[in-house]
Amino acid sequence: MTSAIPVSAIGLPGHHAPAAGYEAPFEMLDACHERVERMLGLIQRLQQHLVEQGCDASARQAAQDVMRYFDLAAPLHHEDEERHVFPPLMAGPDAAVKALVLRLIQDHRQMELAWVDARSVLQTVADHASQPGARPWTGLTVWHQVKLNDFARLYRQHLDDEDQVAYPAARGLLSEATLLTMSEDMMSRRGISPKSEQG
């Protein structure tokens, strides 16, 4: 990122809701993971931008976008998993998967705590008054970077474990009827109906 942060390419919090059907809920979960990856990438680029370009309007906008995503969409996503993905795995036969699920739930709590710290840094960026010529922005301390990078590291490992182990295992355990119920619950908790769209 050398000039502006491409926040317009990031998209808004939430899910694009596909047509209702037994495959829909995991499509929605996958789409959420893709958005999280983009937001973690934006956190990384934001830090570089602050050092190279200072705390300008595009940096403040990027900080707002990341806060909006993790304030609104991430808690819904964690709840999706704790309501629909993890329970069938805990009731299943695979001891290694059960141990992983326990860790994934602990991760959620740890990520919530890490988000408080990361968010405070982003709020500082978002609230910073523009000061032309202030490069690099000395407001970004090493401790700020540790908070942002700790949050991103936790999330990245968590996404890998879910994508590679938990989601494939859960897909194999859920019936079409259960998947449809799951899909309906996920959409209804977002106040959307099948075939509508929430950006």
The smaller minimum CB distance to Fe ion, of residues 56 and 162, is found at 162
At closest approach, how far in Å is the CB of 197 from Fe ion? 21
Residues in CB range of 184: below 8 A, 6 or more apart: 20, 194
The smaller minimum CB distance to Fe ion, of residues 147 and 158, is found at 158
**Site track 111-150 with Fe ion (rule: CB under 5 A), x = hit:** ----------------------------------------
At closest approach, how far in Å is the CB of 48 from Fe ion? 26
At closest approach, how far in Å is the CB of 85 from Fe ion? 8
Identify the residue among 59, 62, 81, 84 touching Fe ion (CB under 5 A): 81
Size of the site for Fe ion (CB under 5 A): 2
Q: Interface with Fe ion includes 80 (CB under 5 A)?
A: no
Residues in CB range of 119: below 8 A, 6 or more apart: 67, 70, 71
Q: Which of 100, 110, 137, 107 is nearest to 121 (CA)?
A: 137
At closest approach, how far in Å is the CB of 158 from Fe ion? 6
Residues in CB range of 126: below 8 A, 6 or more apart: 60, 63, 64, 67
Quickly tell me which residue has 């290694």 as its tokens. Answer: 96
The smaller minimum CB distance to Fe ion, of residues 56 and 81, is found at 81
Element (H, E) at 143: helix 142-161
User: Which residue type, as a one-letter code, is found at position 60?
Assistant: R
The verdict on whether omega for the bond into residue 168 sits within 30 degrees of 0, i.e. cis, is no
Q: Which stretch binds Fe ion (CB under 5 A): 8-16, 114-122, 160-168, 179-187?
A: 160-168
Q: Which of 62, 55, 60 is nearest to 138 (CA)?
A: 55
CA-to-CA dists, residue 163 to 24, 26, 121, 132, angstroms: 16, 10, 29, 43
Q: Interface with Fe ion includes 162 (CB under 5 A)?
A: yes
Q: Which of 195, 99, 192, 115 is nearest to 150 (CA)?
A: 115
Q: Interface with Fe ion includes 56 (CB under 5 A)?
A: no
Q: Which stretch binds Fe ion (CB under 5 A): 45-53, 73-81, 116-124, 186-194?
A: 73-81
Q: Which stretch binds Fe ion (CB under 5 A): 19-27, 58-66, 81-89, 118-126?
A: 81-89
At closest approach, how far in Å is the CB of 18 from Fe ion? 17
Residues binding Fe ion (CB under 5 A): 81, 162
